[in-house]
Amino acid sequence: MANIGSALKDEIVRLAKKEVRKEIEGLKKASAMYRSDIAALKRQVAVLEKQVARLEKNGPKKATLEVEDGASTKFRFSAKRFSVQRQKLGLSAGDMGTLIGVSAQTIYNWEAEKSRPRRQQLAAIASVRKLGKRAVQAQLADPVK
């Protein structure tokens, strides 16, 4: 009798394992597919982050290089005149910072005379002085230019 009971128990275990294997196989395939999708997305994110870093690195320098080639004279900086120019163009500190290649906080510090712009930033400021409202808005709308 013990033989039939153990044989029945072994058969039940075998069939249960077979059923579990069927269920798990589909999950394994789905899991492998998700892992490959995640790996592909990670690679894509890495490529995009490199592109963004490259564009950020080249963006602000591009405007200052154009100005440095155009004029090699010394520029004077007045915090009050700079503030008036920004307001005349209708720009926020963030927008002005985008044009020059600095942060909005830097613009506020210049206007409050807590700090002064560097030479290449002075050149960028001089180039912004030459622009009108429309040209500034166009440049802000298309920062790649």
Q: What is the pLDDT of residues 22-46, one digit of tens each?
A: 999 989 999 999 999 999 999 999 9
The residue type at 85: Q
pLDDT digits (tens, 9 = 90+) for 77-117: 888 999 998 999 889 989 899 989 899 999 999 999 899 89
Query: What residue spans of 1-145 are helical by DSSP H?
Result: 2-70, 79-89, 93-100, 104-111, 119-129, 133-141
Assessment of whether the complete model's pTM goes beyond 0.85: no
Name the band, by pLDDT with cuts 50, 70 and 90, for residue 59.
low
